[in-house]
Amino acid sequence: MCGIAGEARFDGSTPDDAAVTRMTEALRSRGPDGEGLWRDGWVTLGHRRLTIIDLSDAGAQPMVREDLGLALVFNGCIYNYPQLREELREAGHTFHSTSDTEVILVAYAHWGERFVDHLVGMFAIGLVDRARRRLVLVRDRLGIKPLYLAETPGRLRFASTLPALLGAGDVDTGIDPVALHHYLSWHSIVPAPRTVLRGIRKLPPATMRIVEADGRRRDEVYWQPDYARDPADAGMDARDWQAAVGDALRTAVRRRLVADVPVGVLLSGGLDSSLIVALLAEAGQEHLRTFSIGFGSRGEEAGDEFTYSDLVARAFDTDHQRIRLADDDLVPAVRRTVLAMTEPMGSHDVVAFHLLSEQVARHVKVAQSGQGADEVFAGYGYHQPLAGASREAAGPVFTEAFFDRDHAELNRVVGPAYALDRDASRDLLDEHLAAPGAQTALDAVLRLDTHLMLPDDPVKRVDSMSMAWGLEVRTPFLDQDLVALAARCPPEHKVAQGGKGVLKEVAREVLPAEVIDRPKGYFPVPALRNVDGPVRELVIEALQAPEARARALFRPEYVAGLLTEPDSAEAAAGSNKLWQLGLLELWLQTHGVR
């Protein structure tokens, strides 16, 4: 719900308040309703506010409780804050606001570092414990809210976006060759803690970093569900799992209604967002606002899924808005989208989310969305071959389905200065798949999807594009309790019915069959998927710009080969690769990276 920033000094000097102010100014779109700065010797905190809970000045940040010796900046929402507030009141604590922000402060005062175990929600937190001279940085369990870090000798800066740290200045903007390897291997994904820039990292999901005033630090991963069968669930059959998942999802949807402003739904017409609408209607929500977006078609490729979103809107009598945009809207939108990206994001639908968020933000400040269901409940095609496969099959199946290039090809793509003598992406993949706590091949891949890939693809995409317009998007399928339950669920219940079987059975209780049994769809943006016309010209311009030539990220002969426009299936593959390379260069140039 906000943008946060801060600087801590460990060398006895005073934090640069002007740099923190520049960071918070760069976060204005994430928090258009207010701003604040707080100083305390070795730490300065900055904040931009989006008012969603406790709209009064009492909920403003940075929030300081002098009696507790604590100060805080926080981005996100604590869904169980009313229950925590009551529990803490009964323990003898007092409150001066009705905000979830103050609940975090009091929770830390009461439970210490274990406060995070009690928080249900999405959050990035910077908390100063003045008595202990300690900075506590925390990111939520699924990495829904971002937290970027820039360290130099004697100094740590943090912010909600990477460009905000660039705005502060004094950042090593050299390209990280390992991050580039990941970007070119995994559909533009660079998992935490890396970013494409050497001087900026991100706190991984489910991680607490304790930073002392002398610079010492320690990290704790405070949550990781086991992807294995729990003996306590041994008596559960398919119907029992359906009931358990249905109950957990209903709770997740209700939790995400907590707000002092109306909550809408981003309705694509697919199973996941449609199920959210159905469960909200079941819970008694009336006149629910829903939003869908569509683009022009290309040949036989449709540019919208209005048939299905309209069906759901009629079935549940929502206040539905179709947003149809022409191809002419896309080129200027690409430039604005790249400016809004916290990191380079090569997915074609990122532009669609940017345009959708712009329109939705005119009507609501909060919306629920269906991101995460495929990763949590095995909705992708490559999940199917893993059902019943040996544990050793996980790596080859995922590699075949997900890798854009192998290591040998990648070193033919990047310039000599960025080539690696080891397959960094495959090494990271193997490390995660081999880690204990995953029982089957499918368990291992779903854990990888959910905890490594998901935060830096659809989750980051939706947060960046929505918060660029001051819109907070909440994702029920990434509820911590639902994810932990799904992790325990036997694989056969998830891969049933072509994927998401247990979820589809829940949906049959509340949704029309046409929505459940339809072919799987994706956010259609034909003009970008084909990378032609003005969009192609924009990409080529970025790759041929003086900055790109000086940087020499990619071998000229490889780029030249992509520009020859081969025929048939090679053309589509070449377009995707051209977009991926051009998008990276366009992002670097847009954000002034030299």
110, 103, 510: which is closest to 274 by C-alpha? 510
What per-residue string of b and e applies to 172-190 under the rule 16 or more CB within 10 Å gives b? eeebbebbbbbbbbbbbbb
Query: pLDDT at position 569, please?
Result: 43
Query: pLDDT at position 342, please?
Result: 96
Output the average pLDDT for the chain.
93
* Single pTM value for the model: 0.95
- Check if the beta carbon of residue 75 is closer than 8 Å to that of residue 159: no
Per the document, the length of the chain is: 594
What secondary structure does DSSP assign to 314-347, as a single string? HHTT-EEEEEE--GGGHHHHHHHHHHH-SS----
Q: What are phi and psi of 175, to 5 degrees?
A: -80, 135
Three-state SS annotation for 101-162: HHHHHHHHHHHHHHHHHHCCEEEEEEEEECCCCEEEEEECCCCCCCCEEEEECCEEEEECCH
Query: pLDDT at position 397, please?
Result: 94
Give me the average pLDDT of each 10-residue run along the chain (594 residues): 93 97 96 93 95 85 96 97 98 96 98 98 98 98 98 97 97 98 96 98 98 97 97 96 98 94 92 96 92 78 82 95 81 90 90 91 95 96 91 93 93 96 97 96 98 96 94 97 98 96 97 89 63 80 95 95 62 73 96 92
- Check if the beta carbon of residue 127 is closer than 8 Å to that of residue 101: no
Side-chain-facing half-sphere of 592: CA atoms under 13 Å: 9
List, in sequence order, every residue forming a beta bridge with 139; answer none if it has no partner.
Answer: 124
Query: pLDDT at position 570, please?
Result: 45
**β-pairing, 2-9 with 34-40?**
unpaired
The sheet carrying 289-294 orders its strands as 319-324, 289-294, 263-266, 366-368, 472-474
Query: pLDDT at position 338, please?
Result: 95
CA 408, CA 423: separation in Å to the nearest integer? 9
Dihedral angle computed from the Cα positions of residues 118, 122, 126 and 131, in that order, rounded to the nearest 10 degrees: -10
